[in-house]
Structure 1
C-alpha cells in the first residue's frame, strides 16, 4: 500500500470535496492544506497499523481530538467530519480491494485488513467526539460562569454600572430585558431533581439561597412557563422591577421565603409570589418594632393567662375586622353571640376609651394580625406571658417564664 498513498490521498480528497459540501472550499488554500494534511496522516498511520498492530495511536487520535475541538469552537457539528470519514473509508476500501485482486491477496488477509480499517475509523471518530465534547463543556462552563457573575452584578447593592451589566450580558449571550423578577428557592436535597429552566433565565443554584432572574416576567404566557419550570420546588417570585432594580426584587423574595419557611406564610399553593403577601411582609419588616408596639397596645392583656389572652385577642381582632358587629364576630369565631358579648364587655373593661380611638384601633389591628399569623401558622407568640395572671375565679396566679 505504501507506494500508492499519495495517489489514494488525491482520490480521497476529490471524493470528499465532491460529496461533502462543507469541505469544498476552492478559494481557501489554507483549508485545502489542512484537509490534505489530515488525509495523509490518516493514511500513513493506517498503513503503520496494518504493518504493526501495536503501533502507538496517540499522535493521530490527538490530532482528531484537536479537530473535534476545532469544529466545536467554530460552532459546527461533527456531521460533516463523520461523513468525510465514511467517504474516505469507502475510497480506501475500494482501492484495497482493487490492489488485493491484482496482487492475488488471500481473502483472509483482505478481511483482516478490512477489520483494521473499521476499527481505525471507529477510534478516530471517538477521538473527534471526545474533543468536541470537551470543547463544548468548556464553552458551556465559561458561559455559566459569566451568567453567574452577571447575576452577582444584578443583585449587588448598590447596583453595578449599567455599562458593565450590558457588556457582561453580551458576553454571556443574555438579551437585556426591560423588566425582571428575582426568584429565591428553598434548598434542594441531594436526591431531588434539579428544575430545568428556560435558556433566558439566569440561575445560580450554588448560592446560600439558590436564586434566579426571570426576564420579562409579565409577558404573555411567562407566568405559566415559570410555574411549570418551578413545579415541585419551594420557590418565591419577587416583584417585577426594572432591570437595574433586581436587587430589590431578590430582597423581597428572600424575606418572603424566610416567612414561608417559618410557617407565617402558607406554602401549599405552588409558586409563591411576594406581591400577593405585601401586607404580611410590611407587618414583619421590623419584628422588633411590631413586638414593641404589641407590648404597648396589648398591655391590658399582659396580666392574663395565655389562654385568656388568646381568646380575647382573637375576639378583639374579629370585632375590628367585622365593623364591630357582635353577631358577625360570633359567626366568624363559631361561638354563641352571648359569649361574644361577654368577651367584649371584658375588653371594654380592659381597654376602656382606647377602643373608641380610630388610631389606636388601627394599631391594635396591626399587632393582632401579626399575632394571629404567628400563632396560627408558625406557632410563635409576639407577646410573652407576664409573671402574674388572673385565674378564672379572679385570683392572682404566679406564672413562670420559659
Structure 2
C-alpha cells in the first residue's frame, strides 16, 4: 500500500482493533477499483459469510418467484452452492485483486448455458444477482460504523460490487448466447435434413418425415409448395425474413424452400414479399408426401425462366400458370421432331420468309382462321395477310383442313414463339430432301441456331 493511504479503524470479532487501509485517490483514477478496496476488509467479511448467504437465499427466494421452490431440496441446495461460491470468490478477490476470476465466470457461463437449454430467459438469474448484490451492500453498510469506514472506501466497495455483478451477468449472457447459437445451429441442421427428406425422390416414408419434423420443431402441414431460387435481381432490395415455418436449403445445387400451407389466408402475399428480391419459382401446392413433385416442377420452370422461354415479369413465377409450356418443353427432342415433320413445307424458304409465314400461320390458327383478325394481331394490312395465306395454301395444300395437322402446327409454332426471345434457339425444319436437321424456322439472327 502507498504511504499516503488513509487508515480506517474497525472492530473485528472479539473487539480487537485492526486497521483497514484504503488506497489513495490516484489508484481510483487509474481504473483499478479492486485494488482500491482495503484488503483487510476480507478478514472482516469471512466470519460472516454463512449468515450473509442465509440472507441472500431468503431475499432471492422472496423477490424472484422462479427461485422459490420450497418442495425441491436439490434445487435449494444448488442455489445455496451458487450463493456461497460467489461470496467466497468475492472475498478472495478483495483479499487479492489478482485472484483468477475463471472459476466463478466459468460457473456463470454454465448457468447461462443451462438456462438456454431449459428454454428460459436470463431475467430471473439477472434479478437474483442484483438482489444478492443489494444484500451484500446492505451488510457492508451496516458494518461501516464499526469499521469507521470513510465515504471513499464505501464508494470503492460499491464500485467493485457493481463491477462484480456485471462480470457475472456478462459471463452468464455469454454462455447463454453460446448455447442458443449451438441450439439454433443444430435446429437448422435438422431442418435442412428435413428439407432433403421432403424433396427426396422417391418420397421418404411418412413416419420418417414425422419423426424428423418433430425433432426440428416443424408442425407437419396438410399441403406444401416447393420454391426454386435463382440469383438475386439486379435492383433487388434486401430480402425480408421468411416466416419461421418455411424450410430453407440455400446451399443445395438449386437453392430451395418448402412453404407450408401456401394457400392459407395471406400466405401468398407474405411469400411474394419475402421473395421480391430474388428470381424465384413456386411449384404447385401438393400434399406433403408429394413435395418432390412440386420441387421438380419449380426447377423445370426456373430453367425455362433462365433461358428466357418464360417471362418472369419482374415478380414471382408460379409453375401452375405455365403448365402448357412445361408440357411443351418436357421433351424438346419430340417437339423438334414434330417441327421437322410439320414445318417441312417451309424448309426451302429464306429465314425471313419462314418467319413471316410461320407468324401468320400461328395467328391464323389462334384466331379461328379469320384473316381480318390476323391482320389486327400482326398489325399488317388484311391484303398482306391474304397474300401470305395463299402462299401457305400453296405450300401445305389441303392438309391445312386436317384438324390433327392444325393441332400439331399450333404446338410447334407456339414453341417457336416462346423461343423467339432466346438468342440462337430455333425450331428446326428438315432440309428439302427430308433428311437430317434442316434450315431453321425462327428469327433472322443467323441460320445456325440451336434446334428446339
TM-score by length of 1: 0.94
SS at match of 1:187: strand
Quote the residue 2:321 is aligned against: 276
| Map 1:1-400 → 2, pairs under 5 A | 1-188=45-232, 193-376=238-421, 380-383=425-428
Aligned length: 394
Q: Distance in 2 between matches of 1:401 and 1:316?
A: 23
Structure with the higher fraction of residues in helix conformation: 1
- CA shift in 2, pair 1:378/1:282, >3 Å: farther
SS in 2 for 1:236: strand
Change (3 A) 1:189 1:335: closer
Structure 1 residue matching 2:420: 3-state secondary structure: helix
Provide the rounded CA distance (Å) in 2 between the counterparts of 1:378 and 1:21: 71
Task: Check the 8 A contact 1:385/1:401 in 2, yes or no.
Answer: no
CA distance in 2: counterparts of 1:210 and 1:136, whole angstroms: 26
Task: Judge conservation of contact 1:306–1:385 (CA < 8 Å) in 2.
Answer: no
Secondary structure, counterpart of 1:27 in structure 2:
coil
Q: For the residues of structure 1 that align with 2:321 and 2:165, how far apart are their CA atoms?
A: 62
Spell out, residue by residue over 1:135-163, the C-alpha distance to the aligned partner (whole angstroms, 9 max, x if none): 11111111111111111111111111111
Q: Based on CA coordinates, which of the two structures has the bigger radius of gyration?
A: 2
Offset of residue 386 of structure 1: 5.7
How far residue 377 of structure 1 moved from its aligned partner, in angstroms, is 5.5
The question of whether the paired residues in 1 share the 8 Å contact of 2:340 and 2:430 is answered with: no
Instruction: Report the aligned-residue RMSD.
Output: 2.1
Residue ranges of structure 2 left out of the alignment (5+ in a row): 1-44, 440-445
1:186 partner SS: strand
Q: Normalising by the residue count of structure 2, what TM-score does the alignment of the two structures yield?
A: 0.84
Q: Distance in 1 between matches of 2:417 and 2:430?
A: 16
Question: 1:15-47, CA deviations, whole angstroms, 9 ceiling, x for partnerless residues?
Answer: 000000000000101110111111111111111
- Distance in 2, Cα, partners of 1:34 & 1:384: 85
- Looking at secondary structure, tell me which structure has more strand per residue: 2
Separation in structure 1 between the aligned mates of residue 155 and residue 448 of structure 2, nearest angstrom: 92
Deviation at residue 187 of structure 1 after TM alignment:
2.9
